[in-house]
Amino acid sequence: MLQVAHIRENKEVYIEALKKRNFEAETVFGEVLQLDEERRSTQAELDNTLAESNRLSKEIGMLFKSGEHEKANTVKKQTGDLKEKSKELSDKLNEVSAKLTELLYTIPNIPHPSVPAGKDEEDNEEVFKEGDIPVLAEGSLPHWELAKKYDLIDFELGNKITGAGFPVYKGKGARLQRALITYFLDKNIEAGYTEYQVPLVVNEESGYGTGQLPDKEGQMYHIQNDDLYLIPTSEVPLTNMFRGDLLEEKQLPISCTAFTPCFRREAGSYGAHVRGLNRLHQFDKVELVNLVKPEDSYETLDKMVEHVKDILRELKLPYRVLRLCGGDLGFTSALTFDFELFSTAQDRWLEISSVSNFETFQANRLKVRYKNKDNKKELVHTLNGSSLALPRVMAGILENYQTEDGIKIPEVLVPYTGFDMIK
């Protein structure tokens, strides 16, 4: 969530920057500043009213003490009127503050200057590509056919148990999945991240804190009786662990990693492009979250990008990195790099990771601050990234590593799987 003070100070710059997102901010900013002015004037009037009420209360005590009962009762009536007025002002302040917050929730983050303008994914900018795309033998299969041929993943059984988008991993398919999770976590811990196990459901406040609510409410599974949400990513509980905290500078950076299942309704997703593991309602993911000082956040983003590159190099999967354009940028992000691996059997790129810097956007919602070297309270910057989302990595391994004799296991995973070939 943007800070009102920053909107006031940078109004024209922000209006121009948000055009990259195709978001017309001028009218909204006008309403924000008007509501903030009303909020501040109401707060000032309330403060003055309360101060006057307190002054008169002290005066009443002195009047009673000096025996001036009639005058004390007259002043007492005035305090009664002031209390009624302060209640009305307090109610008005709450109403105006709620309207202001609700309006601020509708404004996306300001894109970083390096974000290209654009309408959608077609306008994203490729900034890096690495790895040789393998040449597969004639008759090579997409991963959903390979999963059936080698009895690795049962999509129909998942459909029977729950519904479409909830696959069942079996045998060596389940072991490969577990190997990937452990490998990703080991790589993250080796890089200095602390591993956490976090809840798979969160409250509404957590959803608002990291920006999934109200922006992606329709994509989240809601448990109505308890007013809880299944997590769409462990970013939500990991970042919310620090909600409302005042950190010491020496605690930063804070680097967290976690493996969790993730749940997304993916409403409106149909067609061949979502077949097999390409788009699921439940999937496994290992996440990275960083809380850092503002001056360190873009260096941290670069390190996160390099970290994911290193994982893909070790898996020997062909991949590319895209800088997302304004029209494809997530609501809460200032700058995002997407990683895509090439699915040889499907002859297309599949997104497997997003690495993003949110700057103070989430921290302002979460009220996560730290005391800087001048002992002043300052919002932290938050970042997150997938390292990695498993379904499409699994799809890439099955398709790109298939041979006439079976599916080879990437060398780096063999110590985790205990086998080097699926036959």
Report the sign of the C-alpha dihedral through residues 258, 261, 266, 267, in that order: negative
Query: Which pairs from 150-158 meet CB under 8 Å and 24+ separation?
Result: 150/406, 150/407, 150/422, 150/423, 152/176, 152/398, 152/422, 153/277, 155/276
* Integer CA distances (angstroms), 319 to 80, 338, 349, in order: 71, 10, 8
Q: Is 205 one of the annotated binding-site residues?
A: no
Asked if 397 and 317 touch (Cβ cutoff 8 Å), the reply is: yes
Asked if 283 and 391 touch (Cβ cutoff 8 Å), the reply is: yes
**Structure token digits, residue 36:** 């903030």
Q: Alpha-carbon distance 316 to 413, whole Å?
A: 11
Asked if 325 and 19 touch (Cβ cutoff 8 Å), the reply is: no
Q: Measuring CA to CA, which residue among 287, 84, 305, 68 is closest to residue 198?
A: 287
Count CB-CB contacts under 10 A for residue 246: 11
Q: Is 49 one of the annotated binding-site residues?
A: no
> Any idea how long the chain is?
423
Q: Alpha-carbon distance 151 to 145, whole Å?
A: 10
Dihedrals phi, psi of 85, to nearest 5 degrees: -65, -40
Q: Is 156 one of the annotated binding-site residues?
A: no
- Residue 3, helix vs strand vs coil: coil
Q: Is 161 one of the annotated binding-site residues?
A: no
Q: Is 351 one of the annotated binding-site residues?
A: yes
Q: Alpha-carbon distance 394 to 181, whole Å?
A: 11
Asked if 360 and 3 touch (Cβ cutoff 8 Å), the reply is: yes
Q: Is 254 one of the annotated binding-site residues?
A: no
Q: Is 255 one of the annotated binding-site residues?
A: no
Q: Is 264 one of the annotated binding-site residues?
A: yes
Q: Is 353 one of the annotated binding-site residues?
A: yes
Which helix (H) or strand (E) segment holds residue 18: the answer is: helix 11-18
Q: Is 287 one of the annotated binding-site residues?
A: yes
Q: Alpha-carbon distance 105 to 22, whole Å?
A: 17
Q: Where are the alpha helices (DSSP H) in 194-252?
A: 204-210, 235-240
Contacts of 254 (CB under 8 A, 6+ apart): 242, 247, 290, 291, 292
The annotation places the binding site for ATP at 264-266, 351-354
The annotation places the binding site at 233, 264-266, 287, 351-354, 384
The annotation places the binding site for L-serine at 233, 264, 287, 384
